[in-house]
């Protein structure tokens, strides 16, 4: 992690990607879509703290390339993942501990619960010419899946 000459760190992409992982997998853990709800399990935080975290870090990072003024990312590796201000609001994220917490959670996550879904009506009306017409998932543990990605493979589903 690189420190900025004016203070802070270049950690926006890392935090945004970690938020995306938590967001996607929260859906498979049974939380409402786009809620980051699994942060309650990962970090032992309240639903209000998750909502503030989502609004101040994830949403602003994803849509405006900023975090909420008055909050910051920290390169410190010692300490809790999130530091809460006097009113219980998440004001500091320690990026490395955040990564480590998500990684630990991922290692214990039931990967069999990952069953990608999509709305057929959201798919292109005319698929790109050079595609197979299949939806292919990405996963972190490729050795758990067959190397044959043929029509009977469990890792892709027909779009048609």
81 and 130: one domain? Answer: no
- Please give the helix or strand (H or E) that residue 84 lies within, else none: strand 82-84
The closest of 38, 160, 60, 43 to 110, measured between CA atoms, is 38
Ramachandran class of 34: left when φ > 0, alpha when ψ lies in -120 to 50, beta otherwise: left
Asked if residue 16 belongs to a domain, the reply is: yes
24 and 60: one domain? Answer: yes
103 and 71: one domain? Answer: yes
10-residue averages of pLDDT along the chain (160 residues): 75 87 88 88 88 84 83 85 86 90 91 79 75 52 45 46
Query: Whole-model pTM?
Result: 0.69
Q: The domain containing residue 91 runs over which residues?
A: 12-111
State residue 157's pLDDT score: 44
79 and 34: one domain? Answer: yes
Using N-to-C axis directions, what is the helix angle for 12-28 and 95-108, rounded to 10°? 30
3-state SS class at 135: strand
The closest of 92, 121, 109, 138 to 38, measured between CA atoms, is 109
137 and 150: one domain? Answer: yes
57 and 103: one domain? Answer: yes
């Amino acid at each position: 992690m690189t420190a900025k000459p004016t203070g802070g760190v270049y950690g926006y992409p890392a935090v945004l990607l970690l938020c995306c992982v938590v967001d996607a997998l929260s859906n498979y853990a049974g939380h409402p879509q786009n809620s980051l709800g699994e942060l309650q399990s990962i970090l032992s935080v309240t639903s209000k703290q998750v909502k503030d975290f989502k609004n101040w870090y994830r949403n602003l990072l994803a849509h405006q390339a900023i975090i909420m003024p008055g909050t910051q990312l920290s390169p410190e590796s010692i300490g809790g993942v999130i530091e809460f201000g006097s009113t219980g609001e998440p004001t500091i994220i320690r990026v490395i501990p955040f990564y480590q917490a998500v990684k630990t959670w991922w290692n214990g996550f039931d990967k069999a619960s990952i069953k990608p879904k999509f709305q057929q009506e959201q798919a292109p009306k005319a698929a790109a010419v050079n595609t197979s017409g299949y939806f292919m998932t990405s996963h972190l543990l490729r050795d758990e899946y067959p190397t044959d990605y043929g029509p009977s493979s469990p890792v892709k589903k027909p779009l048609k």
